[in-house]
Chains A and B, each alone.
Chain A
Amino acid sequence: MPVFPSQDWLTEYVERINSSKEYEEAASSWEGDLSYVFEREPDKKVPDDVWVWIDLWHGKCRGAKFGVAEEEGEKARFIIRAPYSRWKEVIRKELDPIKGMMQGKLKLKGDLPTIVRYVKAANELVNIAGSVETKFVDEA
């Protein structure tokens, strides 16, 4: 079972994105890369911020990198960041990401109207993340 956050987890996540019909349909016209930032929580075995970059294009993920440098990750069209334990809540579907953004628990950098237009695709990305069998690093 892949540990979150890790390269193995990302690989599994990308495979699932690329085999999801629901995501493909919802994001059929989406063009743009995205960085996730899992912010450090040293007491939860995440000593540093972890940047993950994914390149999403017309319903598919055509590239992904784990542990990219901040300078590289910041070049993405969209950045979604939150402390590691918030992401854990999102993956476990205990926190809806849109609700989380409205509560300031997740922070988005990028063109908000685009995210609003593709809210179904964004939700699908979260559903896919939730479908990956995950062992969390602080529980491993």
Chain B
Amino acid sequence: MVPVEYYIILSAILFSIGVAGVVFRRNPLVIFMSIELMLNAANLAIVAFSSVLNSFSGQIFVFFVIAVAAAEVAVGLALIVEIFKTKHTIDVDQLNSMKG
């Protein structure tokens, strides 16, 4: 079979790419996509381990993560729409009115 290390390495790479996306991109939609990528990377890691440990609780947990991700995106997109209504831009760098 495919050794579990490959799955973990893939998950790590995906997670890193997701982190890079969150940190380096200015478009919130891309940031959310990157967050999704991070979450999915985590899911991949959980599923891989659950198959190795022959435990279903991991896979059940993945369901929760997916549901939470979806809800979170929904809320986030709604926020972005509102922000756009006021600021007419979705560049996160422009959201700096709470600076000290």
Chain A bound to chain B: no
- Contacts from A to B (Cβ < 8 Å): none
Residues of chain B touching chain A, judged by Cβ–Cβ distance below 8 Å, are none
